[in-house]
Each structure stands twice: as structure tokens, then as C-alpha cells.
Chains A and B, each alone.
Chain A
Amino acid sequence: MASEDQQTIEQNYMCDPDADGGFVYTTVEAAINWMQKYSLWPMPMGTSCCAIEYMAAACSRYDISRFGAEVNRYAPRQADFMFICGTITYKMAMLVRRIWDQMPEPKWCIACGACACTGGMFRSYSVLQGVDKIVPVDVYISGCPPRPEALLQGLITLQDKIMATNHPLKDFFKEHSLREAPNAGTIRASIAVDGVSD
């Protein structure tokens, strides 16, 4: 799915070798998606051992900055996506939801590990049985805890998903033709006159 979209996007932009300053022609959509993809700032919602794996993924050996997601933002208003690493209890669920609500759009969510995905081994009175009950999850990572490679794979999956995002603007211009300004006729006439004088 992702690779097919990738291909269409790659066909949509091209480099003009004759242009002076080295122009790149592309669609707004491809450019926005590409920029968002490589500047994801995570809000690390680390509550248990998956957060240790996240720390490993963020440090130099696995180096999450290769994928543009190394700027941890503990202030949700500056974050792009939420990395839910660990068990979420019902008591914590209120806070997770509140932090999620504080994050500005566009925002994404990765549920990392068995506990965040389904409650994991904690089938008990106190543990939320999957964070998808309170926030919309984009990518689920399995494992207990998942290895740092799995976290990176989850991040790459999220990037593919972002790359495949359709922005509403594109569909709008497909459905509605461009409207002319009230003075469009005058302008067109003046251009035509200039063309004749040349």
C-alpha cells in the first residue's frame, strides 16, 4: 500500500535541471507530507518497561534521529505524535486523554507493546484494556516489551501512513473548478492587448 503511494508521489514531482536555482516541482501534498514525515516530535508517554526500550531506541546505538524523531517534547503542545510505551491504568487513562487533547493537530499515536495495545498480561480491575479505548491509535507495536528495532519499524510504518495522507485541499479543487474574479475579463483583455502590441 505504502510503496504504491510512494511511487505516485515520486512521479508527481521532478527536478528541473535547466532551472537556474535548482527548482523542485512537486505537489503541495507531497511536500507537506514529506516535511511532516521527517520532523515528527514525539511525546514519550512512558509508563513502564517499554519506555526503557524507547530510551534505547532514542540513544546512539539505535538512534531514532535517523528518522527525524529525536526531539522529545514533554510538553504536549509542542509534540506531533504520542508514543504510548507501557501499561495504562484507569487512573492514568484520564491523564493520557488529557495530554492527548492538549496536543495540536495534526497528531498521531503509536501504541507500543502488549500493555498499551490490549492491556497485555494485566487482565485486572485496574488496567485499561488497550489505549485505543481512549485515543485513536495509528500504529500498534507488538512485543513485551518490543525491541528497539520494532519501535523503529513502528515509526517507519507511521511515516508511510503520513506519506499516504490526502489533504482536503486536493479533493476540493478536484470537485470545484476555479472561480473567476469579477474583473477577470478586463485583465484578460489588457493582456491580450499587450500581446498584440508586442
Chain B
Amino acid sequence: MAKLTELQQAAAAKIIERFPQVKAKEFRGDTTLTVAPEDLTAVMTFAKHTCGFDMLVCVSSVDHLGEEPRYETNYTITQAETGANLLVRCPVAGPAPAVPSMVPVWRSANWLEREQFDLMGIEFTGHPDLRRIMMWEGYPYNPLRKDFPVAGKEFEQAGMAFTEVAPTEGGPFTTRPGATAGSREPGPRA
């Protein structure tokens, strides 16, 4: 385990030596790099080709509503041989957030970035096929943004699809606490 931490620290130090503007933070043995969007492609290319991070495991994003910069994208990259991870976060300002696409570096970024584009509304410039992946083409919202209600919004696409606001309580099938599994089973109640 200690060896893994050392590997990660060494890799982070190597990246910071080459890009002094990158900031590193360590938490419980995991190193997180904060990279500006304009440096992202250069840093990631360096991480892949020089530091051996040959696998992009995850692309996610965060909406810090009420803060600036509002959004950030997160990347988890791995050295497949050693198992060392590096977390990269890239703060990006709204209201139309855009970061460079990582598809030219790792092909696995394709669907992962489409998911963030769909649900968080972040544009990945240079992405070869930036379409929605979870919701259908024509759905107007980005449901994982903080200002989108959990219950959803009403929307009608004539002849194609519709959405409604989901009720957040009540309904015919409810569970209630009980001693036995049978009494906890959801079922019709008056």
C-alpha cells in the first residue's frame, strides 16, 4: 500500500515539475491534481505518455451551485500495471461550461464525457460524437445540475415523449417499519 502511495506521489511530483501551475493535494494517500481547463490536454497527455497512466477509469463532474467557478470535471486515471491512481479535477466556470475533450488521449473518455454532457450540461470541445447518452435526443434539461428539482420537470415532445413531475410522497404501494419482512413488504394500503 505504501508503495502505491509513493508511486502516486512520485508521479504527481513529476507532473508538477513539468507544469508548475498545477496544484497537488494529498488526502489519505490519494493525490489530487487541480488543473486549469487550458492546461488539461497538455497535462493529461504528459501523464499518459511520460508517467504511464494508460487508463482513464472515470469521468465525473460536480456542480458547486452558488460558488465560482460553478462546475468541475473529475478524472480518475490509472497505471494499469501498478494500480496507482491519480485524481485530476478541473474547475470550469458557468453558465456554459466547456472543457477540452480527453477522447484524443484516451478513447474510453467517449461515453464517459457524453454522460457528463447529458446530465450536467458540460461541453467537451473536440469530442467526436457529443450526443446525449442517458436521456433521449430532444430532452431539454440537464437533470443532475443542482438547480434541477429531484422530482423532475414537466415536458412534452409531441408524438415522441413526455415527462411529468413525480410525486415525492404517498401512493398506493408503501412500506412501513415492521418486525418481520412480511410486514415491511411494500403492498397496497388503504
Contact = CB atoms under 8 A, between A and B. Distances in A.
A94 B137 CA distance: 13
A118 to B, nearest CB: 5
Interface of B is mostly: loop
A13 B163 CA distance: 50
B188 interface: yes
Interface string B104-133: 000000000000000000000000000000
Q: Which bucket holds chain A's interface residue count?
A: 20 to 34
Nearest to B159: A94
A68 interface: no
Nearest to B166: A123
11 contacts: A94-B160, A117-B173, A119-B166, A125-B143, A125-B151, A127-B166, A129-B164, A142-B173, A143-B186, A143-B187, A144-B185
A144 B150 contact: no
Interface string B143-165: 10000111111000000111110
B82 to A, nearest CB: 38
B161 A93 contact: yes
Interface string A103-135: 000000000001001111011111101000100
A68 to B, nearest CB: 27
Contacts of A125: 141, 143, 148-153, 163, 166
B184 to A, nearest CB: 10
Given A119-B166, A144-B186, 14 more contacts: A90-B136, A93-B161, A114-B173, A114-B186, A118-B173, A120-B173, A120-B186, A124-B151, A125-B149, A125-B150, A125-B153, A127-B166, A129-B166, A142-B188
Contacts of A143: 185-187
B172 interface: yes
Contacts, number: 65
B95 interface: no
A123 B164 CA distance: 11
A126 B186 contact: no
Interface residues of B, number: 26
Contacts of B143: 125-126
A124 B161 contact: no
B168 interface: yes
Q: Which 5 A-B pairs have the closest CB atoms?
A: A125-B152, A123-B166, A114-B173, A144-B186, A125-B143
B9 to A, nearest CB: 41
B160 A129 contact: no
Interface in A57-84: none
B161 A91 contact: yes
